[in-house]
Amino acid sequence: MRNTNWIYGLVTYTGHESKIMLNSVKAKPKKSKLERMMEKMIMLVFGFEILICLFCAIYYTVWYENNEDDLSYLHIPSDSNDSKGGYNFGTRFGNWIIIFSNMVPISLLVTLEMVKFFQGMLIARDPDMIHKETNTPTSVQSSNLNEELGQIEYVFSDKTGTLTQNYMEFRKLIAKGKPYGMDRSVEDISKFPDVTNVNFRDQNFLNALNRGDRDIEDYLLALGVCHTIITETKDGQIIYNASSPDELALVNFAKFVGCEYMGMDEDGRMQVSFKNTTHKYRLLQVLEFNSKRKRMSVIVEDGQGRILLYCKGADSILLELMDKSENPEIDETQSYLGEFADEGLRTLLICNKVIPKNEYDEWSKRYLNACIATEKRQEKMEELQAEIEKGLRLIGATAIEDKLQDDVGGTIAFLKKAGIKVWVLTGDKIETAINIGFSCNLLTKELQRLIVDGKTYDEVQKSLNEAQAPVDEAKKNGGEMKFALIVSGDALIQAMKEPLSTQMMEIANICEAVICCRVAPKQKAEVVQLVRKTVISLLLKIILTIKN
């Protein structure tokens, strides 16, 4: 909407019907285990006090009624309230409550709050907890959990934006089975466009591009079209507004080597400037990325009237949507992807296909009906998206680097030294996750890696049994062998089922580090809940979950 002068807007869902209100939940109070235990103890003490007061009040009422004739020296008129049983019971009960009020340790709660307050001040003034670059001290938002900071036994962490900076740099690529980016012979980049998120210096790629290599041209045009970037013009410069840093890195790389996305024209067509020619594409559909699909696609119509589908996504998904007989370079590409993953680079496949117009028209009608369906809309849309994305042709692959945060390796090393078990839940493939694990000291050469992979229940069960064998052997021999568990996302789907989940947790409890790869956000939540349920039922340990 930034490039629109004015619009008509109609608000349909407001107030409590808005998504943010429907998804909002009441914040739970943060209470430490000590506080919860104290609340129970105080309630027990108070209940015991009530029982004593009830006994004393009842005893007095009965005693008074039995001995009323012998109490004339008290001068209590027979028609006064003091001579009535109910009144006597109520007043004496109140008297005993006051007498025994010191049984409830109210001052203990006040003392604990004061201690936590001073602990918070010490944390805020700790010179070792100051960010030196900005001279920013620690801000204590809540002191309720102070005593539990030293009792944490498990740390769950995402990778992107937590262990890494979430700043993506385009490093390498594969075009039709041929890798580029290995050579870094280009030193002077002053002649290239000034772009961010690109660290590519391969002269061989530039030579092939200048020779008019068709595979490279197709690759760059795919990068220039397959995205959802919105452009904005400031001071004569085109500014890209991307939904993710990955997408920004890909489009900036295309611009860096001469294939620049220019934005939409007056007719709503995508403009890509490449080799002194402006290619125009009419955008027909955007099949958006989500954690389930793990890919995104655009369907466009080029200047020749051809309808093209461009798709980019995880190799584990897109390889299943290709016909290997039509893509002989798949094996080579997979081999290089493995090498890139070993370097810790994030990889994506780039594919396309030509859709016959009559086929697209028929599909488009069904897709439109699915988009306006009142029941099972998402399922119908995803089914049709999967239908049109079959039979893809491999164009190439991208490799992007996500740099680690400062001192993340030392931090994880200290956590492990303190006996804390670190779990990393990431969407990367196994090879990438392992490399990142070594980079941030989560994995070391002393740790024997136990890899659990598979798609079916039987495959995962066999893989878990193979991982269990060295663990049992180490227990039997009484050795000090240390382990790290690595679980793939496909295997995790089956491993969450009983009895595999119990077996996986038995292995994980022995391991110093656990990495879950190719996991969706929902799976991350399920893993945390599984560990919380298993560990709390066994040892009542404390879990810390870190998100970006």
What's the rounded Cα separation, in Å, for the pair 330 and 342?
Answer: 18
**pTM here?**
0.70
- Radius of gyration (C-alpha) of the chain in whole angstroms: 33
- Residue 344, by phi and psi: left (phi above 0), alpha (psi -120 to 50) or beta? left
Are 156 and 425 in contact by the 8 Å Cβ rule? The answer is: yes
What residues act catalytically?
158
Distance of CA 211 to the CA centre of its chain: 43
What pLDDT was estimated at residue 511?
87
Residue carrying the six token digits 């004593």 = 52
Question: Which two structure tokens, joined as six digits, stand for 162?
Answer: 């937590």
What's the rounded Cα separation, in Å, for the pair 121 and 127?
Answer: 12
E strands, 176-276, in order = 178-180, 230-234, 237-241, 259-264, 269-274
What's the rounded Cα separation, in Å, for the pair 360 and 354?
Answer: 10
The ranges of the chain with pLDDT < 50 are 538-540, 548
Closest CA to 410 of 132, 163, 150, 158: 163
Helix (H) or strand (E) holding 479: none
What's the rounded Cα separation, in Å, for the pair 29 and 21?
Answer: 20
CA distances to 9, 292, 343, 522 from 19, in Å: 18, 21, 41, 19
**Helix/strand/coil percentages in the chain, nearest 5:** 45, 20, 30
* Cβ-based neighbours of 428, under 8 Å, separated by 6 or more: 159, 341, 346, 436, 517, 518
Helix (H) or strand (E) holding 310: strand 307-313
Residue carrying the six token digits 């295309």 = 254
Q: What is the sign of the dihedral through the CA atoms of 94, 96, 99 and 100? A: negative
Helix (H) or strand (E) holding 278: strand 277-287
What pLDDT was estimated at residue 544?
57
Biggest alpha carbon distance in the chain?
Answer: 123
What pLDDT was estimated at residue 253?
92
What pLDDT was estimated at residue 417?
85
What's the rounded Cα separation, in Å, for the pair 318 and 326?
Answer: 14
What length is written for the chain?
548
Are 530 and 536 in contact by the 8 Å Cβ rule? The answer is: no
What pLDDT was estimated at residue 358?
93
Domains of the chain, start order: 33-104 (no CATH), 165-401 (3.40.1110.10), 405-546 (3.40.50)
What's the rounded Cα separation, in Å, for the pair 400 and 346?
Answer: 5
Helix (H) or strand (E) holding 355: strand 346-355
What pLDDT was estimated at residue 376?
86
What pLDDT was estimated at residue 539?
46
Closest CA to 352 of 375, 326, 377: 326
Helix (H) or strand (E) holding 142: none
CA distances to 42, 81, 95, 164 from 99, in Å: 17, 22, 6, 61
Helix (H) or strand (E) holding 445: none
**What one-character DSSP code corresponds to residue 442?**
S
At 371-380, the pLDDT tens digits run 888 888 888 9
Helix (H) or strand (E) holding 181: none
Are 431 and 346 in contact by the 8 Å Cβ rule? The answer is: no
